[in-house]
Structures are given as structure tokens and as C-alpha cells.
């Protein structure tokens, strides 16, 4: 099915929604009371409920139009997760989406040069102590991305190109062996509606008592 790169899901509705990352872990319990935890998903899958973001008829009309355009679950689209949409040190941000801490070119490593490879996937790492989890960034936002090789800022179109629909960075010349590739910027989450049915009762929407689920698309 098609993917709607622009426009993304309405930001004013996204800002009032709830949701975040979800993992899948099986936890069998033994007769002794001990347990074993099995990680079934290496990466999280984000889920959101955007019903909390509907507060008036204008927003409801906007949601209905968007739902019809993507035909329910049929087509994917970009969604802004206001809790996690940029690199750099976490900071507060309002509906305008401007992060308090501006992303830099050295925020996250996304590869190491080997004198041969030219294509690299943007990723973001979440690290605490000895534990870390990587996340594929497939929907970077054009105009916000900074790329560096060994801390030296590179120029888009001159040194590299970005596929903003996949998050793949292609360098004109293969980075040299052991060179660290880093990046910073903003990104969206690829999502689809969770259901093919959208039940509309205006009074319920105005009181935030309706559920409209979105789920992250992982290819």
C-alpha cells in the first residue's frame, strides 16, 4: 500500500494524544516462583491514542478527512511523537515542536567507515549503564538533519544524500576505515490507523472519552 509522506498527521491533535513505545516480552513462571524473561521484539513498536487530542469540531473534521484519505488501515503516514522526536539531550517543548536542546551533528553514531560501504541507516541509541537498545530512524525530517564524519560536518548533495522516506544516507565517497559517522536532527514515526472503523460521537470527542488508535509501521 502507499505511504503518505506529506502532510503528516495533524500536529495539534498529535500534541494532545497519549502513547509511546511498546515491547513484547514473554515471562513464563516456574513452580518455584522464579521466572524467565524472553525478549520477543528487539525493537519497540510505538502505539498512540489520538482521541485525547480531539477538542473541537475543527479537529474532528481534520481527523475525519485524514482517516478517509488514508482509507483506515490501508495507507501509512508520518506522526510526530512529541515525547521523542529529536536527537540531543532531552528537553521540554510545546505545540510548536521546537526542542529546548538543539540537535547537533555529533548526537548519535550510525555507522563506521570501512573504505567500501557508502549506504548507512540512521539510528538512535537509548543507553543506560551496560544496557542499550538501537532504533531505526526511517522518517527523518528534511531540513533538520546534520551529518558528520569524525566530527567534521558534511554538506548534503556535495558529500552525501538522504532518502527521507527510508532514513538511508548515501555518501558520495566511502568513509575511510574506522571513521565515525554521526548525526543529529528531527524525525517522525511511520504509523497507520489501528482500525478500519472510526466511530464519531462529537460529545464523546469533546470530553476525550473516545479511542482512536495508531500503531507504528515496522517493515
Element (H, E) at 57: helix 57-69
Per-residue pLDDT 10s for the chain (219 aa) are: 799 999 999 999 999 899 999 999 888 888 888 988 888 888 899 999 998 888 888 888 899 999 999 999 999 999 999 999 999 765 555 555 566 578 999 999 999 999 999 999 999 999 999 998 999 999 999 999 999 999 999 999 999 999 999 999 999 999 999 999 999 999 999 999 999 998 766 666 665 567 899 999 987
Q: Domain map of the chain by residue range?
A: 1-85+188-219, 91-186
Query: Is there a contact between 78 and 6 (Cβ–Cβ < 8 Å)?
Result: yes
Q: Which three cell numbers stand for residue 96?
A: 510548536
Can you give the pTM of this predicted structure? Answer: 0.89
Q: Which of 190, 187, 197 lies closest to 215, judged by CA?
A: 190
Cβ 26 vs Cβ 38: under 8 Å: yes
Amino acid at each position: 500500500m502507499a505511504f503518505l509522506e506529506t502532510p503528516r498527521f495533524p500536529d495539534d491533535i498529535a500534541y494532545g494524544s497519549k502513547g509511546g513505545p511498546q515491547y513484547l516480552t514473554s515471562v513464563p513462571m516456574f513452580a518455584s516462583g522464579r521466572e524467565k524473561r524472553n525478549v520477543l521484539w528487539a525493537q519497540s513498536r510505538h502505539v498512540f491514542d489520538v482521541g485525547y487530542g480531539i477538542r473541537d469540531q475543527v479537529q474532528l473534521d481534520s481527523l475525519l478527512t485524514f482517516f478517509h484519505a488514508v482509507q483506515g488501515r490501508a495507507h501509512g503516514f508520518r506522526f510526530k511523537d512529541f515525547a521523542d522526536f529529536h536527537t540531543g539531550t532531552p528537553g521540554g517543548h510545546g505545540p510548536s515542536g521546537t526542542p529546548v536542546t538543539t540537535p547537533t551533528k555529533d548526537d548519535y553514531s550510525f555507522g563506521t567507515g570501512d573504505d567500501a560501504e557508502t549506504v548507512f541507516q540512521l539510528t538512535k541509541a537509548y543507553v543506560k549503564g551496560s544496557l542499550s537498545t538501537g532504533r531505526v530512524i526511517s522518517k527523518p525530517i528534511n531540513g533538520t538533519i546534520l551529518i558528520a564524519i569524525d566530527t567534521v560536518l558534511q554538506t548534503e548533495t556535495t558529500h552525501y544524500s538522504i532518502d527521507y522516506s527510508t532514513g538511508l544516507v548515501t555518501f558520495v565517497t566511502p568513509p575511510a576505515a574506522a571513521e565515525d559517522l554521526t548525526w543529529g536532527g528531527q524525525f517522525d514515526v511511520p504509523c497507520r490507523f489501528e482500525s478500519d472503523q472510526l466511530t464519531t460521537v462529537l460529545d464523546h470527542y469533546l470530553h476525550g472519552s473516545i479511542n482512536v488508535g495508531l500503531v507504528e509501521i515496522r517493515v
